[in-house]
Amino acid sequence: MEFGFKSEDIISMFKIILDNLREGVNIVDENGILMYVNKTSAEYAKVSIEEMIGQHISKFYPKAALLDVLKYKKPQLDQKIDHHNEKKYIVNAFPLIINDKFVGGFATFRDVTEIEELIKKIEHLEMQVALNTIDDVFDNLIGKSGSLKNVIIKSQKAIGSLAGPRHSVITGESGTGKTYLANIMYHYAKKIGVLKEDASFIEVNCAQFTNPDIAAIEIFGSEKGAFTGSLEKKGLFELANGGMLFLDEAHALEHHQTILLKAIESGKIRRIGGRKEINVNVIIVAASTQDLKKVFIPELYQRLAQYELKLPPLRERPMKEREELLQFFAINYEKCVYNRNGISLRVNFSNEAKDILLNVNYPRNIRQFRDVVNASIDAAVPLINDIYDKRKLEVVVNAENIPIDIIEFKDAFRESSECNKNTTSSSIENEYLGIIDQLILSLNEKGYGPRKIAKILNNKGFDLKYYQIAYKLKKAKLNKE
Ligand SMILES: Nc1ncnc2c1ncn2[C@@H]1O[C@H](COP(=O)(O)OP(=O)(O)OP(=O)(O)O)[C@@H](O)[C@H]1O
């Protein structure tokens, strides 16, 4: 008995709480078989709880953080995961250890798709403002004369072709600049007179629609009475008429390939439930993190991908471009401070901070790099009311200003295993990494700091950077709290 409750009552109470949480909850055994799933998790996966229990978690959540918990037997905190149904989740997953025995894991997660969408809309507005104020719109693209040189030549051709503008496809991992490039192409089209000054740029994330019918109505519009309660509604194709239609995450349109092909071939669309054909003249830029050649039927792909623009991930960009990006983000920060407060800010980076910022892994590419740089500058600048001279300010961003905990855990692991590839075989890698972690923790308990630990490990043949060690220590401390 506890506080007058029987233990069965407490179990029922916990079950009611878990079932009513707005976060999803999954519990798996050590083989990944689902033992408990709450209502929200089943709703996210679009199946019933009964269908999930007893099945392997990867069937419903192929990239589940719990798979890493089972593999590494360590918590996975604040993981941002995109599942195949294009929903984005923030996940926290933990090992389940009962009587010192590892018996499985549990995870809580919440859908952040809408929040991400809003953030992107704000980014988009910022981009429009920035691009409207410069002469050569491609100047704002770091890598212009380096890794993006060919992409820029192709995108200029796509827009400025003598025979009229062409549709194009942009591919690249998340955060590599697909939306940014599409915006630049739109502004370029206006600058060279291919589009009128007031031409629209309509952006749609095709993966945001929960079902294909809603997507069709949004994109092609609907006629009154087409289905119960339907109203006359213009679709995005019509709204983009005379301008550019940016189909982001275009792979999610796989259910509408024929109607899309017809629209492109004939330059006409028919609203859902409508008979009338409506002329539409739009430049389509379709973007995706997936290879659209494998998703779309060849006729459609050929029509869309008259120019294929492939953006490289940040890790494949030369160091010189990373440095330019770092400067670019710092200058943008300075401009933002000047516009808001009239203060001339000058941002410098210590060598150490630069070294860390330029060398850690950014799985979400340039967007994540920019966010980490901004957060580091945020940490280095004083609060507005603490500034003595409100006209100018100079700050130095140091290593301790970098929010190491927002750089991902998995990658610190991956990087260290990459560094030691020559000395380890993949079969013993996990065990090996566990031992290194223990070694780091015990050296830290003895009072050694990250730099000293890096030196000791280096002498033992393990090539780990001190910031990777600082990161692991910070993470371990957070897990303890
Ligand atoms: N070449 C570049 N030069 C300068 N900044 C860039 C460049 N590419 C991307 N960025 C910056 O990175 C941010 C994220 O890029 P963007 O939103 O275009 O990525 P994305 O590939 O569309 O991502 P997602 O697949 O997640 O939609 C941009 O807002 C911009 O600030």
Closest residue by CA, ligand 1 atom 8: 177
Q: Give me the pLDDT at residue 407, please.
A: 57
* Mean pLDDT, rounded, for 18-24: 90
Res 427: pLDDT? 44
Considering the domain 115-312, what is its CATH architecture? 3-Layer(aba) Sandwich (3.40)
Residue 174 CA to ligand 1 center (angstroms) comes to 8
Q: Whole-model pTM above 0.90?
A: no
| Mean pLDDT estimate for the chain | 84
Q: Per-residue pLDDT tens for 46-84?
A: 899 999 999 999 999 888 999 999 988 888 888 878 765
**Radius of gyration for the alpha carbons in the chain, expressed in angstroms and rounded:** 26
Q: Which fold, 7-111? A: Beta-Lactamase (3.30.450)
Q: Minimal CA–CA distance to 70: which of 81, 56, 84, 59?
A: 56
CB count within 10 Å of CB 393 equals 18
Segment 374-422, tens digit of pLDDT = 999 999 998 877 777 778 889 999 888 888 655 543 344 444 434 344 4
End-to-end alpha-carbon separation of the chain, Å? 29
Q: Kindly give the number of the ligand 1 atom that is closest to the alpha carbon of 116.
A: 26
Centre of ligand 1 from the C-alpha of residue 207, in Å: 18
On the question of pLDDT at 430 being above 60, the answer is no
- Check whether 289 has a pLDDT greater than 60: yes
Whether residue 220 contacts residue 269, with contact meaning beta carbons closer than 8 Å, is answered with: yes
124 CA from centroid of ligand 1 (Å): 10
For residue 201, how far is its CA from the centre of ligand 1 (angstroms)? 17
Closest residue by CA, ligand 1 atom 24: 174
Q: What burial class does residue 94 get, using C-beta atoms within 10 Å of its C-beta: 0-12 exposed, 13-18 middle, 19+ buried?
A: middle
pLDDT of residue 283 exceeding 80: yes
**Minimum CA distance residue for ligand 1 atom 18:** 177
Ligand 1 neighbours by CB, cut-off 6 Å: 123, 141-143, 172, 174-180, 248, 289, 325, 328, 366-367, 370
Ligand 1: which atom is nearest the Cα of residue 148? 1
| Pocket residue to mutate for ligand 1, from 113, 176, 329, 336, most atoms within 8 A of Cβ | 176
Its ipTM equals: 0.97
Fill in the DSSP letter of residue 237: H
Angle between helices 466-480 and 426-445 (to 10 degrees): 80
Question: 411, 409, 415: which is closest to 477 by C-alpha?
Answer: 409
Ligand 1 pocket, mutate which of 121, 366, 368 (most atoms under 8 A from CB)? 366
- pLDDT over 70 percentage in the chain: 87
The fold for domain 315-406 equals: Helicase, Ruva Protein; domain 3 (1.10.8)
Domain boundaries, the chain: 7-111, 115-312, 315-406, 409-480
Run of H or E including 356: helix 351-359
